[in-house]
Structure 1
Amino acid sequence: MVKKLCKHRWYLFFFALLLSTLKVEGQNNNFVSPEVETARTDGYEKQLENYLRHYLVEEYEERAEKAWNRDYSSPDALKRSVEPNRRRWEKVLSPPKLVKSGTIKRKPYPLREIQAEWLELPLGMLSAEAILAFPDGASEQKKVPIIIVQHGIGSTPESPFSPGPYHEYAKGLLNAGFAVLLPLNLRSIERRNNVERFARLAGTSLPGIELARLQHLLDIVLADSRIEPDKVGMWGVSLGGMATMFWMPLESRIKVGVVSAWFNERRNKMVVPDERYSSFSPREEHAFFTGWLSEFSDYDIVSLIAPRPLMIQHGKKDGIAHWPQVVEEYDKSIVHYQKLKMPERIELNLHEGGHEAIVDEGVRFMNTWLKENDL
């Protein structure tokens, strides 16, 4: 009986000690009041924020000047001189090494009057999926250029055939004689946030994964006898514009780009909150990539695309940016082409609208560089 009581008291003693420890932990040992502790932690957070913001914004120009050593003596010289930056950009996206694990599956996928196909290419545990459609008359005897048409975060591969902000621009491209490839990428902020967390843990990124999927699709699609494989363009809207900017530096088969509703003064957009434009933080954590602003503001990324033709589309009513800052970033971007004596290869389509594609201008640009001129 005595032994049982002693054992019981020991249990009570250890339980009381545990409660006491938890209570002390929660009260910070009663050495500091909650008000003082909160003020101290708020201050430390502000120090960290100011330190990182200073690095990302104020120190950017000096850091980038050391990181880039561009040679504008010829287009090939520029490409060679930025190759170290291109490799570092590849590390930002870190696309995984995916392997084709089966043959591509095709099935009819009519979109009202448009006779399209749904493609699915197995890549191990993943697959690459897309809509593929050809203009009337495309054949082995009448090959056509192809445009990668990339949808935004709130839409689907079908959306560029629809009205609204896309203004049926995929249909406009078909009518102009282009084939269109519309990859399926992950939709919605919440889903991209979720997957991007896992991707970072795995040392990759969601844009990197989606680039690898596209590249495998291109391997198959560009072998189609109806397509001119050396005449490939890409036109993305919103997050699809991000894909165009992100992927062109790493995929040389894309010869011409149109970026709608994405191009920005990147440091301000990502780091400096402002009532004149929306911010990704804190809701859209999927949009923050390790090392992005080490040396890759948008005008620097453009130098990884040059001398390939590039059109930037931005609406003055588009809340993603304060449009005068977009103009300033574009003015820095055009310098790359001016120094190559090719200023006609880059355009800013600054319009009075909002977050949308401007079809006629984009189609004209693709016609100019994929049909009328040799690149």
Structure 2
Amino acid sequence: MNKKTFCYGMIAWMLVTAIPAATAQNSELIAPEVENARTNAYERQLEDYLRHFLVEEYEARAAQRWNRDYSSPAALVRSVSPNRRRWEEVLGPPELTKTGVLKRTPHPLGEVQAEWISLPLGMLEAEAVLAFPSGASKEQPAALIIVQHGIASTPETPFSSGNYHEYARALLDAGFAVLLPMNLRSVERRNNVERYARLAGTSLPGIELVRLQHLLDMVLEDPRVDATRLGMWGVSLGGMATMFWMPLEPRIKAGVVSAWYNERRNKMAVPDARYSSFSPREEHAFFNGWLTEFSDEDLVSLILPRPLMIQHGKKDNIAHWPQVVEAYEKAALHYKKLDIPEKIDLVLHEGGHEAIVDEGVQFLSKWLSDPGVKNNP
């Protein structure tokens, strides 16, 4: 045994033996049940204080932090620029640099002749599946949809059945090219990495946004892609990515959010038997400063005036669906005030945690086939 190992072992032994001794000594001064009750009361005070700040005080606080100008779409975008900067601080996207060329390898998915693409970014790699519809060419470039998988899935999953209903394949059949970024999968992995990210002043969604942006730099140069017609459609945690990234990536001209949109204050801070909670298992889903001013209906105003579809199933236990409707109506009010109510839509369906394919494809086809969308801020 070397000296370093011996020292660590002695320190560990001292801590292990000291804790019970301190506890025993402390019990002579205060009864354990009294101390426990006191500490429980303090915990409740802290929870009540923070929950009051996050929930009850939210609307008054947000009213002071947002100064929206609805006189025109351009005025709205300009008026929320301070909020956009603060949202960027929430995600903390790091500075990454391309350190190599884009690599492409065949990645067949059944009948789909896809590619696996990877781009070195220093110690990180940005990776995705890329597939083109038949007939895409320099003469007939296709619109591109970023198809983002959820926490329990992979870039290949949107080509499968289940709650994804092969919506990536449906987009290809509708004439879209699809880019399916690989994000970190599983609750345990995201919990682990998010801890390090917070210590580093960033976040996993912030890192994954920058990875996507570097991939877009390269993919949008492909002559088979119409770079002016870029959309995004994410399911579950992919819906989170769509909501989180559209405010910071103006190249995305239209979005579909499936199985994510919520009454965010309740979801994150008010446990309720009518919906599931991230706490305590999914600590990866809590981001510093998120609920200072960025509940879902307010975050949508950083996406305006771009078209947005929200999809939610009444049997989806991520939310109590009447609360989703209420939060949606608040988001839709931004579009109404700009006199563009047709650019936001809610697909409230009878199913669960899933993508609704036909409506999503139709929505993206409508807005990404219209040349007018190219001029949106």
With normalisation by structure 1, the TM-score equals 0.94
Out of 130, 142, 150, the residue aligned to residue 148 of structure 2 is 150
Q: Deviations over 1:194-225 (max 9, x none)?
A: 00000000000000000000000000000000
Shift of 1:373: 5.0
Of residues 97, 100, 123, the one that matches 1:99 is 97
Equivalents in 2 of 1:37, 1:20: separation in Å?
19
- Structure 1 partner of 2:198: 200
Q: Distance in 1 between matches of 2:78 and 2:203?
A: 26
Which runs of 5 or more residues in structure 1 are unaligned? 1-17
Amino acid at match of 2:44: K
Give the deviation of 1:20 after TM superposition: 8.4
Identity over aligned residues, as a percent?
A: 72
The C-alpha deviation readout for 1:204-249, integer Å capped at 9, x for no partner, is 0000000000000000000000000010000000000000000000
RMSD between aligned residues: 1.4
Cα distance in 1 for residues equivalent to 2:39 and 2:229 = 56
Counterpart residue type for residue 330 of structure 1:
Y
List gaps (5 residues or longer) in structure 2.
Answer: 1-15
Structure 1 residues 39 and 73, CA, compared in 2 at 3 Å: closer, same or farther? same
Q: Conserved in 2, the CA contact under 8 Å of 1:238 and 1:260?
A: yes
- Match for residue 347 of structure 2 among 346, 349, 354: 349
**Are the aligned partners of 1:24 and 1:30 in contact in 2 as well (CA < 8 Å)?**
no
Residues 1:266 and 2:264 aligned together: yes
In the alignment, structure 1 residue 114 sits paired with structure 2 residue 112 = yes
174, 181, 191: which one aligns with 2:189: 191
Counterpart of 2:218, as a letter, is I
Which whole-Å CA distance do the structure 1 matches of 2:76 and 2:372 have between them? Answer: 19
Task: Return the offset for 1:24.
Answer: 3.7
Superposition deviation, residue 51 in structure 1: 0.2
How far, CA to CA, are the matches of 1:219 and 1:259 in structure 2?
23
Aligned match for 2:291, one of 285, 293, 297: 293
User: Would you say 1:246 and 2:244 are equivalent positions?
Assistant: yes
Secondary structure, in 3 states, of the residue corresponding to 2:108? coil
Larger Cα-atom Rg: 1
SS of corresponding position for 2:129: strand
Change in Cα spacing, 1:156 to 1:24, as seen in structure 2 (3 Å) is closer
Conserved 8 A contact 1:312-1:349:
yes
Code of the aligned partner of 1:368: K
Letter in 2 for 1:347: D
Q: Give the Cα–Cα distance (whole angstroms) in 2 for the partners of residues 373 and 287 of structure 1.
A: 37
| TM superposition shift of 1:25 | 4.7
State the one-letter code of the partner of 2:312: H
For residues 372 and 105 of structure 1, what CA distance do their matches in structure 2 show?
A: 32
Label 1:32 to 1:212 Cα distance change in 2 as closer, same or farther (>3 A): same
Runs of 4+ in 1 over 2 A off after TM superposition: 18-22, 24-27
**2: CA distance between counterparts of 1:213 and 1:19?**
47
Match of 2:88 among 87, 90, 93: 90
Per-residue CA deviation, residues 250-277 of structure 1 (Å, 9 max, x unaligned), is: 0000000000000000000000000000
Cα displacement (A) at 1:27: 3.5
Candidates 45, 53, 72, aligned match of 1:74: 72
- Number of aligned residue pairs: give it: 359
Q: Within 5 Å, which residues of 2 pair with 1:226-245?
A: 226-245=224-243
Show CA shifts across 1:277-322 (max 9, x none): 0000000000000000000000000000010000000000000000
Aligned positions of 1:352-367 closer than 5 A: 352-367=350-365
The alpha-carbon deviation at position 372 of structure 1 amounts to 3.4
Per-residue deviation, 1:30: 1.5
SS of the aligned residue for 2:155 comes to coil
* SS of residue matched to 1:324: helix
Helix, strand or coil: the match of 2:112? Answer: coil
